[in-house]
Amino acid sequence: MLKLLSWILFLVIALAIAALSIANRGSVTFSLDPLPFAFDLPLYVLLLAAGFIGLVIGSIVTWLRGHTARHENRVHKREVEALKGKNMALTRELEEARARNSSGPTPDALAPPITGKQQIEHQTGQ
């Protein structure tokens, strides 16, 4: 569906550019005033060139503004990979500890039961 929408959008833009080119075939003089350069070009060439230059400048500005987000993304990816490695190591260590203690008491049997008073003290932080 997205591919079809892309093609439709491309077709609309292409038709708009073609209509612009046909409607603006008249020749205009393009001069760079302080410099001695002057060109006779069709108006649509100047319009398309201005649009293209605006597109390039806008793309560069957008890319530069996204630098901090890309940098933070790289930092977070490194942190995630480090934490995944640490998680795997701790999981392995836990499995080894469980294997060593498989013949011993279960973890539930190690802790004494919590009384109602201890639970209230723990919840209130006293």
Query: With left for phi above 0 and alpha for psi between -120 and 50, is residue 17 left, alpha or beta?
Result: alpha
3-state SS assignment for residue 104: coil
In a domain, 124, yes or no: no
**Cα separations in angstroms, 111 against 84, 87, 106:** 30, 25, 10
- In the chain, the number of structural domains is 1
- The pTM score is 0.54
In a domain, 3, yes or no: no
Numbers of helices and strands, H then E, in the chain:
5, 2
In a domain, 87, yes or no: yes
Mean pLDDT by 10 residues, the chain (126 residues): 92 90 86 85 89 95 94 96 96 91 63 67 65
- Full residue range of the structural domain in which residue 53 is found: 20-28+38-103
